[in-house]
Amino acid sequence: MPESTWKIHEIRKQVAVIDGKHAPSIVLKNTRYLHSVLKQWINGNIWILGDRIVYVGKEMPTSLNNTQVLDLQGKVVVPGYIEPHVHPFQLYHPQSFADFAAQSGTTTFIADNMSYVLSLPNQKAFSILDQLKKLPFSFYWWARFDSQTELENEDELFTNKSVLEWLERNDVIVGGELTGWPRIIRGDDLMLYWIQASKLKGKKVEGHFPGASEKTLARMKLFGADGDHEAMTVEEVENRILHGFAVTLRHSSIRPDLPQLLNGIIEKNLNIFDHLMMTTDGSTPSFHQDGVMDKCIQIALDEGVSPIDAYNMASYNIARYYNMNHLHGLIATGRFASLNILKDEFSPNPEAVLSKGVWVKQNNEKVNALPKIDWGHFEPLELSFGLTDDDFQFSMPIGIEMVNDVITKPYSINLQFNNKELPLGCDESYLLLIDRNGKWRVNTMIKGFDTHVKGFASSYSCTGEIIVIGKNIKDMKQAFEELRKIKGGIVLTENSEVVTSIPLPINGSLFDGDVEELIKYELALKSAMKERGYKHSDVIYTLLFLQSTHLPYIRITPRGIYDVMQKKVMLPAVMR
């Protein structure tokens, strides 16, 4: 449970406001606000000192020296929205995503720590977390137990000491997500120990159980999982509720399931909205052009969910489940002053946003530029090697076929080709995964990725290794060289020219700029890829999940081509 953050002298000053001996910093008067426990809209005044609500009720303070008083007659005030399942390294980084999300009312984030674990020693990671605490947002974190791929050095990254150091932090409130849950079923007692350690410290354990049977759900509940966000049908929602799981409904760039899930819940007359949360589950930047949690609330309203239930699923329900409703999710005395001012309860995109007592949006305009976090601990990508003809040997019998954006299956390679180029129009391409330090490579073919991509390279991937795809080896080399030049990113080349690129100078995986600018880069890439035969919806997630062994059926990993179901390497990586 997150600890309160106020010192004794701050609390004394807050009480002095009630006593009339000190003026509040902000008063919102004549508000119609949501009380999430009473599930009522209440008229009253909200007094704020610094980052804390010090009073909510009918009274006005007796001292108003230097107080900002806003008359909100005719407006609606709701708690700041909470994103309970954030992957904050989807080309953007935690600060840029928070800064962007706050403009539509999402100011509290429960976020994945995977990129920290894979890239930094704990102390350097913790120094970034401590910097983020100084921003007027609320960041909470997960503690991952596995890499969701096959790494040669996984045991060095996820040591008992390292994981327990994460769990010791008060701002870490989640163990998981459990992408490696099959290991527990197969007898991995260390991961089970970490689950027990999480629960002993009062933290929730988040599952990752797509398509899980009832018996698997029962097993994972007994092992200690508390919640899951992978339900894709209303029946799966109901099964998770029946087994005692907290359920987070997902609406993401690769699984936009929320409308049909909510429709099914309403049709089945399941009275469970008090037990549901919503998430965008680490969607790629352009998915958020029309919002973050406000987008989920709007969908709920459109599907016929009552406004109070819709807002609670994006605020109070989350805060209550994660044992932090003493700080978040409720407009009441003692909570953080994170509030959204709306035109009305049917318009969840706020006109003004107050986050921990700081205005980040007023009159529909962004205000208060924030100090930048130092991302220097994430070193820039320095590729000290080039690709040679020896790296482009594609004589293996098994390739990877894309079923959709993220699901892949093995296929037998029968294509006849020369060693330099594949014919345009065919749906097979060369696929090369290469160590960012140049030590090893994995070669295969990929089917269903494109029809006309000549050269493509990305340092954005699950593990930070380099993915190179294409039909023309010269253009593939060109894409890799451009990647070296810009020190990380995603590059599409054709006929020795760069068609489009996304620069990712922070560790080769993160954009150093605003999300609004990043969206423009991503849309240009998606458009160019679609023109060249990429038929799926999200190329960014395709790159991320090519290595991810928590999804079936075959993956390209640092160990080689990996059979997820059989848990074995089919074709090993080759040393360069």
554-557 sheet: strands from edge to edge: 554-557, 560-563, 568-572
The pLDDT of residue 3: 66
pTM: 0.97
pLDDT tens digit sequence for 71-82: 999 999 999 999
For residue 436, give every residue at least 6 positions away whose Cβ sits within 8 Å of its Cβ, in sequence order, or none. 381, 383, 459, 464, 465, 466, 508
The tokens of 131 are what? Answer: 């910097």
CA-CA distances (angstroms) from residue 64 to 69, 121, 332, 356?
A: 8, 48, 20, 20
Q: Cis peptide leading into 168, omega within 30 of 0?
A: no
CA-CA distances (angstroms) from residue 214 to 82, 211, 243, 316, 398?
A: 29, 10, 8, 29, 34
The pLDDT of residue 414: 87
* Radius of gyration for the alpha carbons in the chain, expressed in angstroms and rounded: 25
The tokens of 320 are what? Answer: 């209550």
The pLDDT of residue 420: 83
The pLDDT of residue 368: 87
- Phi, psi for 15 (deg, rounded to 5): -65, -35
The pLDDT of residue 370: 86
Per-position pLDDT tens, the chain of length 576: 676 689 999 999 999 999 999 999 999 999 999 999 999 999 999 999 999 999 999 999 999 999 999 999 999 999 999 999 999 999 999 999 999 999 999 999 999 999 999 999 999 999 999 999 999 999 999 999 999 998 989 999 999 999 999 999 999 999 999 999 999 999 999 999 999 999 999 999 999 999 999 999 999 999 999 999 999 999 999 999 999 999 999 999 999 999 999 999 999 999 999 999 999 999 999 999 999 999 999 999 999 999 999 999 999 999 999 999 999 999 999 999 999 999 999 999 999 999 999 999 999 999 988 889 999 999 899 999 999 999 999 988 999 999 999 999 999 998 776 668 999 999 999 999 999 999 999 999 999 999 999 999 999 999 999 999 999 999 999 999 999 999 999 999 999 999 999 999 999 999 999 999 999 999 999 999 999 999 999 999 999 999 999 889 999 999 999 999 999 999 999 999
For the chain, domains (ranges, CATH) are 78-231+330-366 (3.20.20.140), 389-575 (no CATH)
CA-CA distances (angstroms) from residue 571 to 249, 449, 546, 548, 576?
A: 37, 21, 15, 16, 15
The pLDDT of residue 395: 84
In 3-state terms, what secondary structure has residue 37? coil
In 3-state terms, what secondary structure has residue 41? strand
Query: 3-state secondary structure string, 483-498?
Result: HHHHCCEEEEEECCEE
The tokens of 509 are what? Answer: 């995986």
* CA–CA distance, 542 with 456 (Å, rounded to integer): 13
